[in-house]
Amino acid sequence: MRHANHLTIAADRSLYLGVLPATGWHAHATPVLLVGLSGPFAVHLAPGRVEICRSALVDQGVPHVFDPRGEQVALVYLEPDAPEALALRALLRREGGVVFEPVRRSAARQADHARLRSFDLAALLRWRLGEVPPLDARVAHSLRQLRSGSAGPWRRDDAARGVGLSASRFNHLFAQEVGVSFRSYRVWAQVRRAMTGLGPRLNLTEAALEGAFSDSSHFSRTFRQTFGMTPSSVLKPLQHVEVL
């Protein structure tokens, strides 16, 4: 059974459900869980490695191509301060940034669909999530501020000053704690905020304004660099956006 393409954005995670085209090469600023709901998909990894699977967990900063091969898929993006992302960090590093078949095989596709919609990763993953290592409180504060957009598109110096650190010390600490640079995550957070501003009309201009982009063309270019797809290829089949 096919479901309408659906985007859910929560405080520290988001979910896209539906049918998507193959991406170009790209790398995210957050870990992503890829799940084939109606059949297997392909993940291309450099150099020349292709894996066919039903689920994959890809760490932030890992270049890859995701080819759904026409299947209905789910993509769960976990922000760096999400408890599950913190709990999975050691595993992803140990496995070189990619874990294949992390999701339990289930004969009940509807149950998996419900677990994904409720972000119940504990019920989906093959192993129990371990202890959640602490994230530096100053970095956690900056992550929340970037996602909220309450202070506009922060510069690194502003973020550093806000937590009482020099710019160089803050930049080092942020990359150490998050796994990507402040700039990379700031761009990700802008795109994420833009998606929350799509509204029922799925208007790119409104989305660009919400994400503090200069115009819809700037948003479109950044979206393609971030996800390896054009906004229209994602948004055209999208029927519902839910912001929790």
pLDDT digits (tens, 9 = 90+) for 22-51: 999 999 999 999 999 999 999 999 878 999
| Residues in Cβ contact with 239 at an 8 Å cutoff, skipping those fewer than 6 apart | 4, 5, 6
Query: What per-residue confidence (pLDDT) applies to 127?
Result: 84
Residue of 236, 191, 195, 241 lying closest to 6 (CA atoms): 241
Asked if residues 158 and 152 have their Cβ atoms less than 8 Å apart, the reply is: no
Could you read off the pLDDT of 194-241 as tens digits, one per residue? 888 776 666 778 888 878 888 888 988 998 999 999 888 887 778 888
Query: What per-residue confidence (pLDDT) applies to 206?
Result: 80
In the predicted structure, residue 110 carries a pLDDT above the cut 90: no
High-pLDDT (> 90) share of the chain, %: 49
Q: What is the pTM of this model?
A: 0.91
Asked if residues 226 and 16 have their Cβ atoms less than 8 Å apart, the reply is: no
Query: HEC states along 158-195?
Result: HHHHHCCCCHHHHHHHHHHHHCCCHHHHHHHHHHHHHH
Q: Quick check: helix, strand or coil at residue 77?
A: strand
What domains, with CATH codes, occur in the chain?
5-124 (2.60.120.10), 137-227 (1.10.10.60)
